[in-house]
Copies of this chain bind each other. A is one copy, B any other.
Amino acid sequence: MTNAVNDKPLVPDLYGIGQAAQELGVSVRALRYYQEVGLLTPSGRTSGGNRLYADSDLARVRRIRELQTLLGFNLDEIRTILAHEDRLAQVRIEYRASSDDEDRVRLLNAGREAYVHLRGEIDEKIQRLETFRREIDERIARVDRLQEGSAERS
């Protein structure tokens, strides 16, 4: 059989912790830890107590990893950012439910400001990496000049 049963979700769009971990490239322990610190509660459990992760759970983990590895936030900071995003999404859903009240406007402004701030940090990191890249290119060029010298005399 080319199609191993283990590679498929147990229930449509629900993954066991092992499948989820492999799909995401993180450890099973990490997923349990994110739950322990209240960052991500899996959408369900089997009758036997096994965690079940939905696609939305996987998306959330990808977001956590992005903020962790690309921008260097710790899990506490990530919790704050995700809480902001969750509230923003909530506002978007409730958009037509309530009338245009001040609370919602304030939330949108705060959300926008948070994203602009995040964008600034990303920009800064990209700039620092580009500077680093230029330094590395310099070093490679220097090695190349040394190698040319060797080649000339050989």
A residues in contact (CB < 8 Å) with B: 66, 69-70, 72, 88, 91-92, 95, 100, 104-105, 108-109, 111-112, 115-116, 118-119, 122-123, 125-126, 128-130, 132-133, 136-137, 139-140, 142-144, 146-147, 149-150, 153-154
In whole Å, how far is A147's beta carbon from the nearest beta carbon of chain B?
Answer: 6
**Pairs A–B under 8 Å by Cβ, sample size 18:** A69-B72, A70-B125, A70-B132, A92-B146, A95-B146, A105-B147, A105-B150, A108-B143, A108-B146, A108-B147, A112-B144, A119-B136, A122-B129, A122-B132, A122-B133, A122-B136, A123-B133, A126-B133
Closest to A91 in B: B146
Main secondary structure of the interface of A (DSSP, over half): helix
**What 9 A-B pairs come out closest when comparing CB atoms?**
A112-B143, A122-B133, A115-B140, A119-B136, A126-B129, A100-B150, A115-B139, A115-B136, A108-B147
